[in-house]
């Protein structure tokens, strides 16, 4: 009896705490429901997942409900909800995304509360440039992988973000996880933006797909290319090595604008690249194909040989540069419109110390 009285007392105290803070504990555990009356929409398809996706876009009420909860439902997300028994037609569960809609009364979509993320949160230091409840902008160090993978199950940026953000992650795709909009290679450093809500993730993805942002990188490349240029060559998976990308007519078009910032003749140059597209390893592949690969690049690097150098000083500089332990590539600038507030944001990350040291070796 004493134990039951204690439990009741504790529950009442918790409810009083939520009540005094203006929160409703039931609101925190109830799934979100979206109701669509079939006759209210003129959608030119009767396939269930497509119809629902288009009807939500056309429904001001549904769209407002999603916006208020920082959610966004793509077709793939709707399909997953259907397959997981989260959709009802006239009160009956339908789990086939290809189901054909006929003369039914209403469709109810249930969005469950987000599940906990599978990666384990880890206390890893992060250099934060900006953070609010929608996005986080940070300076990624070289050597850290962005997302867990078979070869890197922990110690990643996602593990660090799960620890840092905690309950401020509102769920993306039904899971409490950070929304990775773009990636930097493990050994590329620099500025990144990550979404904290489903709605901000969807809008940032649209921004990146439309190339409606400014992304700039600094790289130290071998030799001296011309002062500036534009590379427009498609990039796809290499047929000889599946771990590498390559210039390929079967690939997707990749566009890189660049200019020289400084030269260290005859050995190397510091360049700035502006990406018009975002293909995997784009800068690394483009400049390797151009004959000016990035210093330290283990996959695409084509370093200078010391054999052609008579000068001992130049030989020493080449030998030192060839010992650089990563690709000398840094994401130095990122500017975009905030996905929710529409405020213009610009972030600049200075060159890290290891690349500064490399430049100093080449210059002096």
Query: Please, are residues 358 and 295 in contact by the beta-carbon 8 Å criterion?
Result: yes
Query: Please, are residues 177 and 133 in contact by the beta-carbon 8 Å criterion?
Result: no
Q: What's the Cα-to-Cα distance from 16 to each of 2, 30, 106, 163, 311, rounded to whole Å?
A: 21, 19, 38, 29, 80
* DSSP secondary structure of 13-36: HHHHHHHHTT--HHHHHSPEEEEE
Question: Pick from 209, 194, 33: which is nearest to 129 by CA?
Answer: 194
Catalytic residue (one of 30, 185, 241, 297): 185
Catalytic residue check, 354:
no
Residue 361: which residues within 8 A CB-CB, separation 6 or more?
317, 320, 321
CA 1 to chain centre: 53
Residue 213: which residues within 8 A CB-CB, separation 6 or more?
207, 334, 335, 336, 337
43, with CB counted inside 10 A (0-12, 13-18, 19+), is middle
Active site residues: 185
């Amino acid at each position: 009896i004493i134990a039951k009285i204690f439990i009741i007392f504790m529950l009442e105290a918790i409810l009083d705490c939520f009540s005094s803070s203006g929160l409703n504990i039931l609101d925190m555990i109830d799934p979100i429901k979206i109701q669509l009356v079939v006759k209210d929409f003129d959608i030119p398809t009767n396939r269930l997942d497509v119809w629902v996706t288009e009807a939500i876009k056309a429904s001001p009420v549904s769209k407002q409900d999603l916006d208020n909860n920082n959610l966004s439902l793509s077709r793939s997300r709707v399909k997953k909800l259907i397959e997981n028994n989260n959709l009802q037609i006239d009160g009956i569960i339908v789990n086939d995304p290809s189901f054909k809609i006929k003369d039914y009364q209403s469709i109810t979509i249930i969005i469950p509360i987000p599940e906990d993320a599978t990666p384990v949160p880890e206390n890893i230091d992060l250099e934060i440039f900006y953070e609010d409840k929608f996005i986080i902008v940070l300076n990624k160090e070289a050597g850290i992988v962005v997302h867990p993978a078979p070869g890197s199950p922990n110690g990643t940026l996602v593990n660090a973000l799960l620890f840092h953000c905690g309950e401020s992650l509102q769920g993306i795709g039904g899971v409490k996880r950070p929304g990775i909009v773009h990636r930097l290679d493990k050994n590329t450093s620099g500025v990144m933006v990550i979404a904290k809500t489903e709605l901000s993730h969807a809008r940032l993805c649209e921004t990146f797909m439309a190339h409606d942002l400014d992304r700039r990188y600094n790289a130290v490349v071998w030799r001296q290319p011309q002062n500036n240029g534009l590379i427009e060559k498609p990039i796809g998976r290499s047929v000889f090595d599946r771990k590498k990308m390559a210039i390929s007519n079967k690939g997707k078009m990749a566009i890189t604008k660049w200019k020289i910032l400084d030269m260290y003749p005859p050995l190397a140059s510091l360049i700035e690249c502006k990406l018009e597209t975002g293909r995997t390893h784009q800068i690394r592949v483009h400049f390797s194909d151009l004959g000016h690969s990035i210093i330290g690049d283990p996959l695409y690097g084509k370093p200078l040989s010391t054999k052609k150098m008579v000068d001992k000083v130049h030989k020493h500089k080449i030998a030192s540069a060839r010992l650089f332990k990563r690709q000398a590539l840094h994401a130095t600038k990122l500017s975009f419109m905030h996905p929710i507030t529409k405020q213009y944001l610009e972030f600049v990350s200075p060159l890290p110390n290891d690349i500064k040291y490399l430049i100093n070796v080449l210059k002096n």
